[in-house]
Chain A
C-alpha cells in the first residue's frame, strides 16, 4: 500500500497521505517521498485525513522533501486534521534552511590524506617534546629528593612496591617456571641427538639468567602495572583530581608518578631474581624427571656454566625496563582527557608501547654486552 499520492490540477497540487505515518513507517515514507517528481510549483495541499499516528520524524521528512522539491513561492496548506506539530516543525525546518543555506549534514568530519599526514607529523613532533618534558619533570623531582627526601614519598613507594611487586610474585614465578620447563624440554630433544643432554643445564642457565628471566618479568609487569598506572592516573585525570592537586600547590608528578616509577624500579629487579630462581628450578625439575640428572649434578654443572657476569647481565637491565614501563604508563595516564574512551585507548597504548620499548631496549643491551664482552 502506498502511503502518499500526488495529484495535479493545473497549478493546484494535492498530496494525499494514507496509512501508518508513525516512525515505524518512515523508511517507506522516505522512499516514496524520494520518488516524487519535481519541481512542484504553485499551491500544494496536504490532506492528512487518511494518515494514522503521524509522528515527528515522518512529518519532518515530508517538510524537508517538499522544501527541496518546491521553489520559493510554493504555498503549502495542510488540511484534514494535520498533526499539531506541523506548525512547529515547519518553523524549525525553515530556520534550519535559512540559517545554514544548503543543508550540510556533518555527522562525521572528513579530511584528506595530506591533511592527515600533516596532522600526524605535528602530533608526533609535539608528543616527542612532551615525553622529554615529562621525563625532565620526573628527573627534577628526583633531584629535589636528594636534598629533601620527603619529596620521594616513602609510604607511597611502599604501597606501590606491594601492588606492583609482592602481588606479582605468584604469576611471575609460575610463568618463569613453565617457560623454562618448555625451553629445557625442547632443548633436551635437540641435544639428545648428539648425546649432549647435560648441556641442557647450560642452555637453561644462560637463557634464563641473561634474557628470559628479566624479559618475561618485564613483559608481565608491563601488562599488570603499566596498564594499572595508566588507568589509575587516567581516572584521576577524568575526575579532575590532578587539577585539584595542582590547585592545592601539590605536584602530581611528585605525588603520583615518581612513587610509582621508583617502586617499579625497586620491584622489577627483585621480581627478576624470583623469576631467575623459579626458572632454574623449572630447568632442574625437568632435568631430573626427563633426563635423570640429579639435583646435585645439576648444580655442579650450573656453576660451571655460569660466568661471573651471567647473572648481573640480566639483572642490570631490570631497572631500565622498569623505568620505561613506569614512565610510559604514567605518561599515558596523564594524557587522558575528556572521556572514558580516551582512558581505554591510552591504557592499551601504554601497555603496547612499554612492551615494545622493553624489547627494543633488550636488543640494544644485547649489542652493548657483546661489544663490551660483558
Chain B
C-alpha cells in the first residue's frame, strides 16, 4: 500500500493505547489488566464471548464510563487528563454507532444526520441538506431515506443510517458496536463491503466489536479477543494459530470453520 501523506504524519504511533485497564461491577471483574493498541488506518476487530466486556471496553474508551484502574490514550493523549473542552473536541472527532442504531426516534434520518452538525457548526439550511445527501450517498442510502423516521427503516437501513450519522462530523476514527448483528447474510455482507470501501476511500481507523465471524474474517486487519479479562491481539492468521483453548474454540468451532471456508472460496474466486 502506498504511504499517503495522511498516515505518514502520525507515523506508526498507535491511535488508541489502553494499558492495564480494570473494570469492575461490584464483585464481578470484567477487565483485569487489559491492554491493547489500535494502529492508524487499520480495522481492528474485537471479539469475545457474551459478557466478556466488549461493549464495556468501548464505552470506557469513549469516556462514557470510568475504569477502576488503567490508562487510555487516544491520539497520544490520556483521556482522563483532558479538560472538558478538550474532551468535547475529542468526542467529536470520533464516529460511533451503537448496537441497535440508537437513532433518535423522534427525528427523521436526515435530521439525525444534521443533529451533530447543527450542534457543532452554524450553517445555512440548504448546506445542511446537502450534507445529508452526501452522507446518505456515502453509506449507499437513497436520498428519500432522509425524510423517513428510523421506525420506517429496515434493519440494514438503520445500521447504514447510524453509520451516516457517525460519519457526519467527518471523523478519522470510527467505533462500531456489532454493526452486522441482526442482519441477514446479504445485508451483512453488503455492510462489510461498505465498511471496506469507506475505510479505503476515507482512510478511516475502525474499531469494530463483532460476533460475526464472516465479518471478522473479511474486514479486519487485526483481531483482539478478550479472554478472562485480558486481551490477546494478533493478525488473523496469528489468532487462528493461537493455542488458548477458548480462542481456539472460538475460531475453530463448527461455525468458524464454515465462515473460514466461505472466505477461502471467496478469496479463490477473486484471485
Question: How many A residues face the partner with a CB closer than 8 A?
Answer: 35
Q: Are B202 and A56 in contact, with the CB atoms below 8 A?
A: yes
Interface: A248 (CB within 8 A):
no
Residue pair A60, B130 in contact (C-beta under 8 Å): yes
Residues of B near A192 (CB, < 8 A) are: none
Q: Point out the residue from A56, A85, A105, A109 that lies within 8 Å of B143, measured CB to CB.
A: A105
Pair A340/B105 contact, Cβ less than 8 Å: yes
Does A12 sit at the interface, judged by CB under 8 A? Answer: no
In the complex, which of the residues B120, B122, B134, B152 contacts A338, with contact meaning CB atoms closer than 8 Å? B152
Q: Are A109 and B147 in contact (CB under 8 A)?
A: yes
Is the CB–CB distance between B106 and A339 below 8 Å? Answer: yes
Inter-chain contact B108/A23, CB cutoff 8 Å: no
A64 at interface, CB cutoff 8 A? yes
Interface presence of B23 (CB below 8 A)? no
Establish whether residues B129 and A108, one from each chain, have CB atoms under 8 Å apart when the complex forms: no
Asked if B4 lies at the interface with its beta carbon under 8 angstroms from chain A, I say yes
CA distance A241 to B138 in the complex (A): 36
- Stretch from A92-100, A252-260, A316-324 at the B interface: A92-100
Judge if B203 is at the interface, Cβ distance under 8 Å: yes
User: Are A107 and B147 closer than 8 Å at their CB atoms?
Assistant: yes
CB pair A339–B202 under 8 Å, yes or no, is: no
Q: Is the CB of B137 within 8 A of A96?
A: yes
> B170 within 8 Å of A by Cβ?
yes
Count of A-B residue pairs with CB < 8 Å: 96
Which residues in window 51-92 of A have CB below 8 A to B?
55-57, 60-61, 64, 81, 84-85, 88-89, 92
Query: Is A96 in contact with B143, judged by CB distance below 8 angstroms?
Result: yes
Contact between B149 and A57 (Cβ–Cβ < 8 Å)?
no
In the complex, A57→B149 CA distance in Å? 23
Instruction: Using CB atoms, name the residue of chain B closest to A93.
Output: B137
Indicate if B101 sits at the interface (CB-CB under 8 A).
no
Q: Which residues of B contact A100 (CB under 8 A)?
A: 143
Is there an interface contact between B133 and A338, defined as CB atoms closer than 8 Å?
A: no
Q: State A339–B143 Cα separation when bound (angstroms).
A: 22
Whether A341 is near chain B, meaning CB under 8 Å from some CB there, is yes
B9 to chain A, nearest CB (A): 12
A115 to B213 Cα, complex, angstroms: 50
- Do B127 and A27 touch across chains, with their CB atoms under 8 A apart? yes
Whether A92 touches B121, Cβ cut-off 8 Å, given contacts A61-B127, A100-B143, is no
> B137 touching A92 by the CB < 8 A rule?
yes
On chain B, the residues within 8 Å of A95 by CB distance are 137
Verify if B192 is at the interface (C-beta below 8 Å from A).
no
Chain B facing A: main interface SS: helix
Distance in angstroms between the alpha carbons of A88 and B143 in the assembled complex: 17
Contact status A24-B146, CB under 8 Å? no
Verify A105–B137 contact, CB threshold 8 A.
no
Complex alpha-carbon distance, A53 and B127, angstroms: 19
Please determine whether A84 and B203 come into contact, CB atoms closer than 8 angstroms.
yes
Min Cβ gap A108→B in Å is 6
Q: State whether B105 touches A61 (Cβ < 8 A).
A: no
Contact A340-B143, Cβ < 8 Å, known A88-B201, A105-B133: no
Question: Is B151 part of the contact surface with A, judged by Cβ < 8 Å?
Answer: yes
Is A23 touching B169 in the complex (CB atoms < 8 A)? yes
Q: Does A26 reach chain B (CB closer than 8 Å)?
A: yes
Cβ of A134 to closest chain B Cβ, rounded Å = 23
CA distance A349 to B29 in the complex (A): 46
* Smallest CB separation, A67 vs chain B (Å): 12
Chain A CB within 8 A of B144 CB: yes
The minimal Cβ–Cβ distance linking B200 to chain A, given in whole angstroms, is 9
Say yes or no: is A106 at the interface (Cβ < 8 Å to chain B): yes
Q: Which residues of B contact A105 (CB under 8 A)?
A: 126, 129-130, 132-133, 143, 146
| B144 in contact with A60 (CB, 8 Å) | no
- Is A127 interfacial (CB 8 A cutoff)? no
On chain A, the residues within 8 Å of B84 by CB distance are none
CA distance A109 to B152 in the complex (A): 14
B53 at the interface (CB under 8 A from A): no
- Interface residues as binary, B182-222 with A (CB distance below 8 Å gives 1, 0 otherwise): 00000000000000000001110000000000000000000
Once bound together, how far apart are the Cα atoms of A81 and B149, in whole Å?
40
Contacts A338-B149, A341-B106 hold; do A60 and B131 have CB atoms under 8 A apart?
yes
A32 at the interface (CB under 8 A from B): no
> Which residues of B lie under 8 Å from residue A92 when comparing CB positions?
134, 137-138
Interface check A30, CB cutoff 8 A: yes
Is B178 interfacial (CB-CB < 8 Å)? no
A107-B129 in contact (CB<8A): yes
Q: How far is the CA of A64 from the CA of B110 in the complex (A)?
A: 18
Residues of B within 8 A of A340 (CB): 105-106
- Asked if B201 contacts A85 (CB within 8 A), the reply is yes
Q: With A92-B138, A107-B110 in contact, do A27 and B123 touch (Cβ < 8 Å)?
A: yes
Among A22, A55, A88, A93, residue most surrounded by chain B Cβ atoms (within 10 Å): A88
Known A56-B202, A88-B202; further 7 A-B contacts with Cβ < 8 A: A27-B121, A30-B123, A30-B126, A57-B131, A105-B132, A109-B147, A339-B151
The 11 listed contacts between A and B (C-beta, < 8 Å) are: A23-B120, A26-B123, A27-B127, A56-B167, A61-B127, A85-B201, A93-B137, A106-B143, A107-B146, A339-B149, A339-B151
B residues whose Cβ falls under 8 Å from a Cβ of A: 4-6, 105-106, 108, 110-111, 117, 120-124, 126-127, 129-134, 137-138, 143-144, 146-147, 149-152, 167, 169-170, 201-203
Using CB atoms and an 8 Å cutoff, list the residues of chain A in contact with chain B: 22-24, 26-27, 30-31, 55-57, 60-61, 64, 81, 84-85, 88-89, 92-93, 95-96, 100, 103-109, 337-341
